[in-house]
Structure 1
Amino acid sequence: MCTVTWRFRHRGYDLFFNRDELNSRAHEIAPSVDESTGVRFIAPRDGDQGGTWLLANEYGITVCLLNDYANPWCPEPAKSRFSRGQIVLAMADVPAVGEILPRFETQPLVHTAPFQLLALSPEDDPLLLHWHGAGLSSRQGNISPPILISSSFATADVIAARLGHFARFVPRPEQPKLSELAAFHRQHDPAAGAFSVAMHRPDAATRSFTRVSVDRQSVTLTYEPVGWHRGECANQVVRVLARHTDSVSAVT
């Protein structure tokens, strides 16, 4: 139950992510700067499993996750399931998008429910990996329009509705404006429930808005919890990393 959009710009990009979740799930943990094998990264955390749905590292790589609710495949037995958010964390130290697929293939995917993983960098085309239970598919190249959507409720209808909102907010999807994407992610109709981009229904809601901005000098992650969920604080959290010098020289 999430929506992600992005735009590339000179030597960088912006990515927006709405995380939608069941009200029964634990509170999110605000993003912090951590390290994996000496590589710094920023990630919010899932309060239940400790994984994450999104991270950005000092190489300017962003990796994010969307569940594939339309796929009925399930790992067996249930007790051996592996958290999808841990697979995102396993990518925390990658210096280039080209290293993601080989590492992804070493993960315990057969114990993981279906999902899609998106990776962006300033130097490469987007990489989209899809674990669908029967196997793994990958594609790297332009994704048009630049949006991915998931929903556990009326999946096809919700995706169609949000794509309709996207078309209205972003009339030129090949060149989306920052302000257009920001406004799209906050689209909310109280009567529309799951069909809004910032959604709110009796059993689930958008938990947070996250934006990642990458340029030649820095990686900035801005995180804002949505205040309607169980009284969570709606204060914005901003974390910044200096770009790793190797990644900066690669785009000079």
Structure 2
Amino acid sequence: MCTVTFVPSAEGFYLTSNRDERAGRGIAQPPKVYSDGPEGLIYPKDPDAGGSWIVMKESGSAAVLLNGAFLRHQRRSRYRISRGLVLLEIIRETDPLAHFRDMDLEDVEPFTLILLSDGTLRDCRWDGIRKYVLTPDPERPHIWSSVTLYDEAAAKERMQWFEEWCRGRKSPASADVIQFHRSAGKGDIRNDLVMNRDDRLFTVSVTSIVRANGDSRMVYNDLKSGIDAAVSFDNRSRGTNKESAWDRFCWFSKRFLTRLTHWEYWPAHVVYGPLYLYWLWLSIRARSLFFFSAANPGIEYAGFTHERKSSIYRQMPPDLFPRTWLCPLGTDWEALTKELDQRQLYFPLIAKPDIGERGRQVRLVRSASELRAYWLGSQVDFLVQEFVDLKMEAGIFYARIPGQDRGQITGIVGKQLLTVTGDGRSSIRILLRQNPRYHLHLRSLSARFGSYLDTVLPEGVRETLVPYGNHSRGAKFVDWSDKITEDLTRAIDTVCRQIPDFYFGRLDIKFSSWDDLLQGKNFSIIELNGAGSEPTHIYDPDHSLLFAWKEIIRHWRLLRRISLANSKNRNIPLMQLAEGLKMLRLHARHLQLIREL
């Protein structure tokens, strides 16, 4: 009830509210259909006073409440009736505007009521003395900020954010509007749309009334409790927490069959299990179970596991990778934001653990509030990295035998991000379920996006839900090894030669085009992985498990050859059993601290 936007569409509108409340206030009840008047109403209910701040009516009317009228007022300790109950009384009437004009508001706290009724948009205000009715243009978008929380300068700045967002969006979808309400701002946690003022006053929910393109519902996300719902008058509640036992069984069965019939989704120990004897054979010949340890002398543990990304970045020329800052565990929020300002790291950003594995705890953060939530939840050192918005992403596997003039590219994997395309009818959730690859990740996506997945995308509109190419997070891997040429090998070898003591591993690269990559421009190494790198082109769905085993063995042979050559030529002892087991124990304990945020 503190930030409201009205966005018209070709066949309706989106009316969306961010509710800011003080700590200690009860958790609101999610919206549902109420039939306690001549028409049905949908609204969330305030547990303290029983009223609401946003409501939609079966006939098409809608209303939302903001605190205050024109100026910040001096609040009294008690009022005759809650403004939330006043809202419900007004909207229940056949003519809500007439009832607002006629009702007695004596001893009611000042408020602003945005009312849509009979196709007309009205801005109704009570300042504690008299009533006002303004008529904004319903063909244009509008934003309101509560005067009790945001001064004139803050309100103008929010207006600028909104106007910038509106430009270039001729036909915004519900997803666009909700995303604006969840991410708009400039990194000021006290005044962004999702705000937090010293944990005493903060945004507790985002609620959107959707009446567009035949869609009529209320989408609700309680940021405090995690309760999500999407409710319409045909009583189809699409809350993410409300699947029946039968539904859960059906989707579990479908996920199980998909995993069973596609080896790329099998657990790593199942895929690699038959190859462990070959690893043991290589170890016996090298006289070390950890024969890889000298492969990349410049990387901790040769980059097999438990290596720090920050240490690897420090060895790379700064122009090869995105601007990155290490946030040690225990860093306070003020120091974090100061570092971001000094390093000119602006949203959106990527946050990820300094020591990680398989994309765990990697997040795209679009605002200061999202970064703060990540910072509060992280139990490990993490990196804050510039988001590289280049259209192509690939993993290029590189190997160079010590003493040879040039290295080689042993495989390339292309990464197709988890993206759905709207058909104008189906929600994002339904689109995900239609794709066997994507429905495997529906549970984690529901936890991440909540009711946002119930958004219906217009036909042809693409939505990327996971903007980084990780197989365990839903990206499809495609074998691009046919792209390997002499020119590309020369270009990648030139890059890798700039990284001291790097001989074996995979470069995860984003780039604008193959031509630019060949010329060494418009690309960025997102991550460099060492001896523990997989030849991830094996996960192309067209490849068999036998092909994967052959490629893994080929790369293990290269790894052993490189490591033993470095060990002999540079007198580097191979890792002993006790040291190797200690490394594995440290990494296992560390992984227990990493969780999805």
Q: 1:8: how far off?
A: 2.2
The answer as to whether partners of 2:6 and 2:141 remain within 8 angstroms in 1 is: no
Question: d(CA) in 1 for partners of 2:144 and 2:171?
Answer: 15
Q: Compare the two structures and name the one with the higher helix fraction.
A: 2
The answer as to whether partners of 1:87 and 1:104 remain within 8 angstroms in 2 is: no
Match of 1:22 in 2: 22
The answer as to whether partners of 1:32 and 1:43 remain within 8 angstroms in 2 is: yes
The answer as to whether partners of 1:17 and 1:209 remain within 8 angstroms in 2 is: yes
Match of 2:216 in 1: 219
Question: d(CA) in 2 for partners of 1:216 and 1:189?
Answer: 29
Question: d(CA) in 1 for partners of 2:227 and 2:109?
Answer: 32
DSSP 3-state at the match of 1:37: coil
How far does the alpha carbon of each residue in 1:91-133 deviate from its partner, in whole angstroms, 9 at most, with x for none? 33345xxx12221134331111111101124x52201101012
Match of 2:66 in 1: 66
Match of 2:8 in 1: 8
DSSP 3-state at the match of 2:183: coil
Q: Tell me whether 1:130 sits opposite 2:129 in the alignment.
A: no
> Counterpart amino acid of 1:160?
K
Distance 1:215 1:168, change over 3 A: closer
Match of 2:594 in 1: none
The answer as to whether partners of 1:7 and 1:176 remain within 8 angstroms in 2 is: no
Q: Tell me whether 1:37 sits opposite 2:37 in the alignment.
A: yes
Match of 1:205 in 2: 202
How far does the alpha carbon of each residue in 1:62-105 deviate from its partner, in whole angstroms, 9 at most, with x for none? 11100117332667xx544321001111133345xxx1222113
DSSP 3-state at the match of 2:72: coil
> For 1:238, which of 230, 233, 250 is the aligned residue?
230
Distance 1:74 1:136, change over 3 A: farther
Match of 1:196 in 2: 192
How far does the alpha carbon of each residue in 1:48-70 deviate from its partner, in whole angstroms, 9 at most, with x for none? 11110000010111111001173
Question: d(CA) in 2 for partners of 1:218 and 1:169?
Answer: 23
How far does the alpha carbon of each residue in 1:184-203 deviate from its partner, in whole angstroms, 9 at most, with x for none? 21126695122101112221
Distance 1:24 1:176, change over 3 A: farther
> For 1:108, which of 92, 104, 108 is the aligned residue?
104
Which stretches in structure 2 are left out of the alignment for 5+ residues? 235-597
Q: CA RMSD in A?
A: 2.7
Q: 1:135: how far off?
A: 0.6
Question: d(CA) in 1 for partners of 2:201 and 2:188?
Answer: 13
Match of 2:162 in 1: 166
Question: d(CA) in 2 for partners of 1:168 and 1:124?
Answer: 26
The answer as to whether partners of 1:65 and 1:117 remain within 8 angstroms in 2 is: yes
Match of 1:250 in 2: none
The answer as to whether partners of 1:94 and 1:100 remain within 8 angstroms in 2 is: yes
The answer as to whether partners of 1:151 and 1:158 remain within 8 angstroms in 2 is: no
> Counterpart amino acid of 1:86?
L
> Counterpart amino acid of 1:139?
L
Q: Compare the two structures and name the one with the higher strand fraction.
A: 1
How far does the alpha carbon of each residue in 1:210-230 deviate from its partner, in whole angstroms, 9 at most, with x for none? 11112485630010111xx3x
Match of 1:89 in 2: 88
State the structure with bigger RCO (CA 8 A, min sep 6), 1 or 2: 1
Distance 1:191 1:11, change over 3 A: closer
Question: d(CA) in 1 for partners of 2:122 and 2:192?
Answer: 27
Mean Cα deviation higher: 99-108 or 185-194: 185-194
Distance 1:130 1:73, change over 3 A: farther
Question: d(CA) in 2 for partners of 1:194 and 1:117?
Answer: 24
The answer as to whether partners of 2:111 and 2:127 remain within 8 angstroms in 1 is: yes
Question: d(CA) in 1 for partners of 2:178 and 2:233?
Answer: 22
Seq. identity, %: 24
Question: d(CA) in 2 for partners of 1:67 and 1:200?
Answer: 17
Question: d(CA) in 1 for partners of 2:197 and 2:104?
Answer: 33
Question: d(CA) in 2 for partners of 1:214 and 1:117?
Answer: 19
DSSP 3-state at the match of 1:160: helix
> Counterpart amino acid of 1:222?
V
Question: d(CA) in 1 for partners of 2:41 and 2:149?
Answer: 32
Question: d(CA) in 2 for partners of 1:3 and 1:161?
Answer: 13
Question: d(CA) in 1 for partners of 2:136 and 2:187?
Answer: 37
Q: 1:145: how far off?
A: 4.5
The answer as to whether partners of 1:63 and 1:91 remain within 8 angstroms in 2 is: no
The answer as to whether partners of 1:30 and 1:223 remain within 8 angstroms in 2 is: yes
Question: d(CA) in 1 for partners of 2:183 and 2:121?
Answer: 25
